[in-house]
Structure 1
Amino acid sequence: MKSTIEGLKFVLLSPFILMKVIIVLIIIGIKAIARMILKSEFESKQKFLEISQNKRSELYKNNEILIEENKLLSKRLERMKYILERNENSTTEATLTKHGEIVFMTYSQKNLFDSIYLSGENGDDKFWDSVMHFRDYGNEIKIVDFLTRNDSENRGYGRVLMNFVIAEARKKGIKCITGDLSSVDADNFDWLIPFYESFGFDCKLFNDDKIIRGNIRLLLEETGKKVG
């Protein structure tokens, strides 16, 4: 009788036990799904945060670059303003180097072929970056000094200045440009002579008492185009 009652009790409680098991399994499943969803959301938010941080870093770098470029632009504008205001009693013309840098040629209003000063917008010197001094003999001019600041070399200043001189000499009907190769520059003849020759100058060297010196000569009628 007792076993019958126990059996009947089991039969009656089985649906409830089964339901309890199902509920537990459902809860476990929901928790597992919830964990997956939370993990996915966390990873998504973490990835979004990383992207946002990278974007912020990129924007910060771009902002720093813009600030630096603005400083350089302001510096260039201030230098150009200084050059133009400083030379208000002289004639100043602007041109470009092969690198696209603005340079200013400044010379006396009375005589172009006295001295010509070149100042670059990115130049390092307060007064000039390259200069050429002359003696004017009418149909002929002689270069008596041609200097470029050491920290301005390889910017194309000397080449721009020479091109300007040759072009202006042609405009004024000058037939010849001459100059001397001083012995003090002998160590630089290996690049100095090819520099002059690239403009069409005839360069000659002399060995005078073991001192090497020379001269340069350009007949403008024989050179018809500007050298870049």
Structure 2
Amino acid sequence: MNYTLSAFESKEDKKKEEIIEEFEDLEFQIFRMRENIKEIAKRSQILGIDQTKEQKWVIVYAEDDGNLCKIMLHDCETPYNGKWDFSIHAQYDENKIHIDDIRGEENRGFGTVCMKYLKEHAEDQNVQYITGDIVKRDWDHLDRLIHFYKKHNFQIDIEHEKKQGEIYWNPSF
């Protein structure tokens, strides 16, 4: 019986240590986030704070001059040094935003967060559509692109023989 009690106490102590460690990590992330927001806000419009699929905190911000629009993201695990960790670059064309490029590390949930904010930004700007092209250089990761755009409710038209395609999003979908 004594052995069982000791094992229970050690599990409880370990659980407390984990909670304390998680709390300290969260406290540090909040401090880092506050400092990063101050720096980012000097140059860009802060759109929001969000979490990735890995539960990592990120700051989402934009630069928009009416012709070009960049939705950028910075991971709060590192200090902001003037560079984004992920971005979607687009340009305005009449009543639509045309995605020129998506840049950054894949499979971390950054694209999903940025796409969510691009859609919100488009709606805030009364933009009716988001479009983009799939080009030959994208062909080595075509399946990943198709999955990504379908997940975000884009229509996708692919011409396999020409190795090109188009994407199209309308908020009424």
C-alpha deviation, 1:94, in angstroms: 1.8
Q: Alignment identity in percent?
A: 24
Structure 1 residue 119, shift from structure 2 partner: 2.5
Displacement of 1:51: 4.8
Call closer, same or farther: CA 1:181–1:136 in 2, change over 3 Å. same
Shift in CA distance, 177/167, structure 1 to aligned 2, threshold 3 Å: same
Aligned to 2:166: 215
Q: 2:69 aligns with which of 107, 114, 121?
A: 114
| 1:62 aligned residue | 15
Give the equivalent residue in structure 1 for 2:85.
129
Higher helix share: 1
For 2:87 and 2:64, locate their aligned partners in 1 and report how far apart those are by CA, in whole Å: 16
TM-score after normalising by structure 1:
0.61
| CA distance in 1 between partners of 2:165 and 2:64 (Å) | 32
> Which residue identity does 2:104 align to in structure 1?
T
Alignment of 1:88-167 (within 5 A): 88-89=41-42, 90-97=44-51, 99=53, 102-108=57-63, 110-111=65-66, 113-121=68-76, 127-150=83-106, 153=107, 155-167=108-120
Residue 81 (structure 1) aligns with: 34
CA, structure 1 residues 110+184, in 2 after alignment: closer, same or farther (shift >3 Å)? closer
User: 2-side partners of 1:123 and 1:184: how far apart?
Assistant: 31
Unaligned 5+ segments in structure 1 are 1-46
How many Å apart are 1:102 and its aligned residue? 4.2
Consecutive unaligned residues of structure 2, counting only runs of 5 or more, are: none
Amino acid at match of 1:71: E
CA distance in structure 2 between the aligned counterparts of 1:182 and 1:98, rounded to whole angstroms: 27
The Cα RMSD (Å) is: 3.1
Instruction: For CA contacts below 8 A with separation 6 or more, give which structure has more relative contact order.
Output: 2
For 1:148 and 1:86, how far apart are their aligned partners in 2?
20
In 1: Cα distance, 2:164 partner to 2:68 partner: 24
Deviations 1:107-154 (A, max 9, x none): 12645952110234468997433211112224222111112314xx2x
Q: Deviation at 1:159?
A: 1.8
Structure number with bigger Rg: 1
Aligned residues: 169
Q: Is the 8 A contact 2:90 2:99 kept in 1?
A: yes
